[in-house]
């Protein structure tokens, strides 16, 4: 919770700093310096510099520690009516994984499409997830959910100047009784397979 408040506070401070620079560039008016000059003429420059330092620290905090929130906000919490989901698993499955889901009602999960000898190490996430054939919904029992799925393919993602082959993994969200859906969690699969089904 503290992290969310600090994120919102930092975002407001950075936006205020951006507005201040807009006013400096467009109207030659520095609102920060003007406010501190009104409060105390003797220390206005020092307080202005301190304000710029705080804006800079908040900017660094957002860029370094809040990248997910800033650039991938769709991965965070959302709202979804719980009544539209029912328990289901992929048609063909050969693995299972138990995840903690304290207070949850259901867990919605998905992985890349099932791996086969001729279908692995895919060149893009779009091809790896095409048709979403490896998805399911699991009931939460005693704060745990069992995810049943097929071993997903590995796929490559573009990381700017290079391409990276990701480990096999499953994504999931916890759906709570009030309709709140958690952020997306990702579980890497150990040794390519977690638990083989009998």
Q: How far, in Å, CA of 137 to CA of 153, rounded?
A: 20
Quick check: 142 pLDDT over 90?
yes
Write down the pTM of the prediction.
0.66
* Widest pairwise Cα distance in the chain: 78
Q: How far, in Å, CA of 111 to CA of 134, rounded?
A: 6
* Bridge partner list, 97: 147
Q: How far, in Å, CA of 182 to CA of 102, rounded?
A: 11
CB atoms within 10 A of CB 151: 21
- pLDDT digits over 85-121, tens only? 899 988 888 899 999 999 999 999 999 998 877 777 8
Under DSSP, the state recorded for 92 is S
pLDDT of amino acid 108: 96
- pLDDT digits over 14-58, tens only? 999 999 999 999 999 999 888 888 887 778 888 888 999 999 999
Tokens of 94: 């050969």
């Amino acid at each position: 919770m503290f992290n969310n408040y600090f994120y919102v506070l930092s975002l407001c401070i950075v936006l205020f700093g951006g507005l201040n620079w807009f006013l400096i560039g467009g109207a030659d008016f520095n609102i920060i310096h003007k406010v501190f000059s009104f409060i105390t003429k003797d220390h206005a420059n020092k307080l202005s510099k301190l304000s710029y330092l705080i804006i800079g620290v908040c900017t660094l905090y957002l860029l370094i520690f809040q990248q997910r929130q800033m650039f991938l906000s769709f991965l965070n919490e959302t709202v979804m009516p719980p009544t539209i989901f029912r328990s289901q698993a992929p048609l063909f499955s050969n693995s299972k994984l138990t995840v903690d889901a304290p207070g949850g009602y259901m867990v919605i999960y998905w992985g890349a499409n099932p791996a086969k000898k001729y279908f692995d190490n895919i060149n893009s996430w779009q091809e790896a997830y095409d048709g979403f054939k490896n998805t399911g919904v699991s009931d939460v029992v005693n704060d745990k959910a069992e995810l049943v799925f097929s071993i997903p393919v590995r796929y490559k993602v573009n990381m700017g100047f290079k391409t990276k082959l990701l480990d096999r993994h499953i994504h999931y969200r916890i759906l709570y009784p009030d309709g709140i859906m958690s952020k997306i969690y990702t579980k890497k699969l150990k040794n390519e397979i977690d638990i083989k089904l009998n």
